[in-house]
Chain A
Amino acid sequence: MLIAVALLSLSVPGMAALAFAMERHQTWLAPRWRGRNARLALRAAGITLLASALACAVVAIGWSFGVLLWLGLLTPSALAIVGVLALGQKCSER
């Protein structure tokens, strides 16, 4: 359970970085985080965070359980970012 929380603290920011690295979601960021270089940096950060979550999972609970838990946790992590972005859009439309 504790390891799941620890992994989420890496994979949720990782997913967020990947989302903000996309053209469509760039408008959420301050101007200096937009543009090609910032997007590449965000994507690299996202991949690094997700990879380190995988590394932590494997080191902490072994290959079979680690890969499973990591893969499984990507689902709620991505879902959380989808939810936040949708909520943000709803608020900005008001």
Chain B
Amino acid sequence: MKDRFRQSMAWLHTWLGLLFGWLLYFIFITGTLGYLDTEIDRWMRPELPVASYPPSQKMAIDRAQAFLQSHAAHGQRWTLTLPIDRNEPYLHVSWQAARAGAPAASGTAYLDPGSGRQIETRDTGGGQALYQMHWRLHYLPPLGSLWIVGIATLALLLALVTGIVVHRKILADFFTFRPRKGQRSWLDAHNVASVVSLPFQLMITYSGLIFLMFSFMPLVAAAWYGPGQASQDVFLDEVFPPLASAPAAGRSAMLLPLDRLWRDAQDRWGPNAVAALEVQDPNDAHARVHVIGNFAAGPLRATSILTYDGVSGERLAERQAWQSGPKALRDAMLGLHEGMFAPPALRAIYVLSGLLGAVMIATGMVLWCVKRRQRAERGRDMAHAGLRLAERLNVAVFIGLPVAIGAYFWANRLLPTGMAHRAELEMHALFAAWLLMFILAALRPALCAWKEQAIFAAVAFGLLPVLNAATTSRHLLQSVPDADWVMAGFDLASLAIGAAFAGLAWKVKRHQARRTLC
């Protein structure tokens, strides 16, 4: 009885894993890069200086307001993001065109907080575009990718739970990895990677589903508020109390100096608590200013927001960070998932745990193939088409994706900076390189493909610091003496990744030597 239960769980674990593993690997790799999003952003915009955090934001706010006033006086919305910490290292403004205005009248800019001068940067998707693929599968429509990612997440949660059931000796095998034993080693690696990071894997999967709860379980709210969009809006208004919004009056009026509202918020919240300001209908008689606290101040991803009348300066509304216990639980889950609050040591653990998740998936998939390949070679079974397909997809996804991400970074440095649609072309470069890896994997014997693509990845990452030196002045010989650790850290990490892939290529070659295929 107990064994039959375990067997059926093993069946579920295997096939859920096989069906969703490649997509989940993509989600894990891009999500892990998301923990380093602003660092990647910086590398991909080498024009930006080393981040410096001014002791007071007053000057930055004045400069940003002056800039927006001269560039987008009649915009519909302004956003001022203040340089406060690792999550927001630069003074950044964005503006949205007036409702009737051309979309080209919207824009964003990095500003020097001292002089208010715009810092011209290349057009790039940066680390954010990489990170957003974590849930926005790039070429697919938003709702479609939300559902696909959501179902994959559900599958992962099931795979984790069934995996725990299937694994007979979690404690006895806790520290066991037996190298060079073929199938046994792959199983050990799969177990060790999963078990030592299990709390993280459960947390990240469950909290990932929490992100989707309003879309995936609308009936829970509908049961209390009634069906339909209107009742859904009532529900959302209760969860997120509205912020005294008002339609534009159509009469122009002087916008107050924003630093006055910022100071009022600081007086209520304490120093360095304001992360951003948002202005609705600036220079209109009904202008509204939202002063937003720091979402990354702690594991609870929530913050207070104050709303002011932009003309009189009257305080109109305050939305507290803490609304209710259940909402706080949700905020804590989202906060833990995104890890925005994490200081460097904890951030490193997040990255390690994310990579272990990718290793967990990859070793599981390789194990599936190794098991069936051995059976096929003993002649009991043909190497069926499914096995050959899985072997090839494994290479093209596990090694091909890193090659493609390398191509994205190369495109960032090689495409001319003035080019139109540059950010999109970088993305196309990523997917074109990835497509190429799929084609190569289909054409070559699987073991050769492992070696070749590992060499591609080693070259792509190993030479990134050289490319950086050839195309910018922010290379290692400059960034290390300047203590520009974001730039230097990226270059050094690239070298390490390149070396790791070179090591993998070498291992595959040694493994191959007995067979001499290529």
> Which residues of A does B touch, CB under 8 Å?
1, 3-4, 15, 18-19, 22-25, 64-65, 68-69, 71-76, 78-79, 81-83, 85-86, 89-90
- Chain A nearest CB from B100 CB (Å) reads 48
Residues of A near B46 (CB, < 8 A) are: none
B356→A75 contact, CB < 8 A:
yes
Residues of B near A22 (CB, < 8 A) are: 172, 174-175
The answer to the question of B52 belonging to the interface, with a C-beta cut-off of 8 Å to chain A, is: no
A85→B352 contact, CB < 8 A:
no
28 A-B pairs (CB sep. < 8 Å): A1-B343, A15-B175, A18-B174, A19-B174, A19-B175, A22-B172, A22-B174, A24-B172, A25-B175, A64-B298, A65-B299, A68-B346, A69-B346, A69-B349, A72-B200, A72-B346, A72-B353, A74-B196, A75-B197, A76-B349, A78-B175, A79-B196, A82-B175, A82-B196, A85-B175, A89-B178, A89-B179, A90-B179
Check A85/B177 contact, CB under 8 A, given A1-B344, A3-B345, A72-B346. Answer: yes
Q: For A86, give its contact among B178, B197, B336 (CB under 8 Å).
A: B178
State the CA gap A15–B196 with chains docked (Å).
11
B353→A4 contact, CB < 8 A:
no
Residues of A near B196 (CB, < 8 A) are: 74-75, 78-79, 82
State the CA gap A82–B188 with chains docked (Å).
10
- Chain B contact-residue range equals 20 to 34
B158-174 vs A, CB cutoff 8 Å, 1 = contact: the mask equals 00000000000000101
Residues of A near B178 (CB, < 8 A) are: 86, 89
Our count of residue pairs bridging A and B at CB distance below 8 angstroms stands at 68
4 additional contacts, CB 8 Å, given A4-B346, A82-B176, A85-B177?
A: A64-B299, A71-B199, A78-B196, A85-B176
Residues of B near A85 (CB, < 8 A) are: 175-177
- Chain A nearest CB from B197 CB (Å) reads 5
Which B residues between 344 and 391 are near A, CB-CB below 8 angstroms? 344-346, 349-350, 352-353, 356
Which B residues between 175 and 202 are near A, CB-CB below 8 angstroms? 175-180, 192, 196-197, 199-200
A67 to chain B: closest residue by CB:
B299
- Chain A nearest CB from B185 CB (Å) reads 9
State the CA gap A19–B352 with chains docked (Å).
22
Check A75/B353 contact, CB under 8 A, given A82-B175, A82-B177, A86-B178. Answer: yes
Residues of B near A79 (CB, < 8 A) are: 192, 196, 356
Residues of A near B350 (CB, < 8 A) are: 72
Check A75/B200 contact, CB under 8 A, given A1-B345, A68-B346, A69-B346. Answer: yes
- Chain A nearest CB from B330 CB (Å) reads 16
State the CA gap A90–B178 with chains docked (Å).
9
Residues of B near A4 (CB, < 8 A) are: 345-346
- Chain A nearest CB from B323 CB (Å) reads 19
B349→A73 contact, CB < 8 A:
yes
State the CA gap A8–B136 with chains docked (Å).
37
State the CA gap A82–B350 with chains docked (Å).
20
State the CA gap A18–B299 with chains docked (Å).
31
State the CA gap A1–B345 with chains docked (Å).
5
Residues of B near A23 (CB, < 8 A) are: 172
State the CA gap A81–B176 with chains docked (Å).
9
State the CA gap A10–B517 with chains docked (Å).
48
Q: Chain B CB within 10 Å — which of A15, A68, A85 has the most?
A: A68
A82→B192 contact, CB < 8 A:
yes
State the CA gap A23–B179 with chains docked (Å).
19
Q: Chain B CB within 10 Å — which of A3, A18, A72 has the most?
A: A72
State the CA gap A74–B174 with chains docked (Å).
12
Q: For B174, give its contact among A69, A76, A78 (CB under 8 Å).
A: A78
Q: For B299, give its contact among A68, A71, A78, A86 (CB under 8 Å).
A: A68
Residues of B near A18 (CB, < 8 A) are: 174-175
In the A-B complex, the 10 residue pairs with the closest CB atoms: A4-B345, A72-B349, A78-B196, A19-B175, A86-B177, A75-B197, A75-B196, A82-B177, A1-B345, A82-B175
B352→A75 contact, CB < 8 A:
yes
Residues of B near A89 (CB, < 8 A) are: 178-179
State the CA gap A90–B200 with chains docked (Å).
30
- Chain A nearest CB from B343 CB (Å) reads 8
- Chain A nearest CB from B179 CB (Å) reads 5
